[in-house]
Amino acid sequence: MARRLGAVLLVLTAGAALAFYGLRPDGLPLSCYLTDGEPPRAEIGVPDRPVRGRVTFTVSLSDNCRVGETRVYLDGRLLGPAGPVIAVDTAGLPDGDHRLGVTAADVALRPNVGRAEAVFRSDNTPPTLTAPAGPVLIRQGEARPVEIVSSEPLSRVELRWADFTVPITAQLTRLTVPVAAGPADPPGTRRLEVAAWDPAGNEARLAVEV
């Protein structure tokens, strides 16, 4: 009986000490559970350019006490709990803008909820390149411009003509390429090869017969 009474007194003494110092057994002040009115802070990091395929977004969560339940949403659809990194496969999404949202609650008895939203743009469709139909005819010793048109702005273009490769880095949708045949060039068909990438990294290729 004395031993049992001693154990009860020990528990009561420990509980009184925790209450005196305003602490719970998990180490947080009681104010975090009873009087905290500050919601967690949430931030989402997204690229400032279009993305394609499987991409990751960073999430930063903090609270003056402790972050409790978290959730992440994509276009209003719940994906699951929010971790420091969110992986999204954009191949299953339509091209265009998408909204990523995060909610984070603290551990108060009446939870305070912090929110963050960010918009990213997905693009999994290669650009369409067009050029004049049929072979481009030029005479020996002459030059002629060939116009290449893209369905969307391009971030990078590579032109290959004969043994020369010319890289171009610019935001453009229309490109005029001069092609020439030297006086000593034999008659025949050559190819102007065009490789192009949009800002998301989708690649398109085109060959023009000259």
Q: Are strands 96-106 and 129-130 parallel, antiparallel or unpaired?
A: unpaired
Question: Counting beta carbons within 10 angstroms of the beta carbon of residue 182, is it exposed (0 to 12), middle (13 to 18) or buried (19 or more)?
Answer: exposed
Last residue of a domain, one of 122, 147, 167: 122
- Report the number of distinct structural domains present in the chain: 2
Q: How far apart are CA 68 and CA 40, in angstroms?
A: 9
Q: Is residue 4 part of a domain?
A: no
Q: Which of 130, 127, 192, 179 is nearest to 155 (CA)?
A: 127
Q: Provide CB contacts within 8 A for 70, sequence distance 6+.
A: 61, 81, 82, 102, 103, 104, 105
Q: Which of 179, 192, 186 is nearest to 144 (CA)?
A: 179
Give the type of residue at 152. E
Q: Where do runs of H (alpha helix) occur along the chain?
A: 2-21, 31-34
207, β-bridge pairs: 193
- pLDDT one digit per residue (tens) for the chain, 210 residues: 444 444 434 444 444 444 444 555 566 788 888 888 899 999 999 999 999 999 999 999 999 889 999 999 999 999 999 989 999 999 999 999 999 999 999 998 889 999 999 999 999 999 999 987 777 778 777 888 888 999 999 999 999 987 788 888 878 888 888 887 777 777 778 888 999 999 999 999 998 888
pLDDT score for 22: 52
pLDDT score for 132: 79
CATH code: domain of residue 34 = 2.60.40.10
Phi/psi of residue 115, each to 5°?
-135, 150
Q: Is residue 1 part of a domain?
A: no
Q: How far apart are CA 191 and CA 205, in angstroms?
A: 12
Last residue of a domain, one of 97, 122, 147: 122
pLDDT score for 12: 41
Q: How far apart are CA 106 and CA 92, in angstroms?
A: 33
What percentage of the chain's residues is helix, strand, coil (to nearest 5)?
Answer: 15, 50, 40
Does this model's pTM top 0.85? no
pLDDT score for 200: 94
Q: Is residue 194 part of a domain?
A: yes
CATH code: domain of residue 184 = 2.60.40
pLDDT score for 175: 87
Q: DSSP string covering 27-54, please?
A: S-BTHHHHT--PPPEEEEE--SS-B-SE
Last residue of a domain, one of 101, 122, 143: 122
My answer on whether 155 and 104 are in the same domain is no
Question: Which residues span the domain enclosing 89?
Answer: 26-122
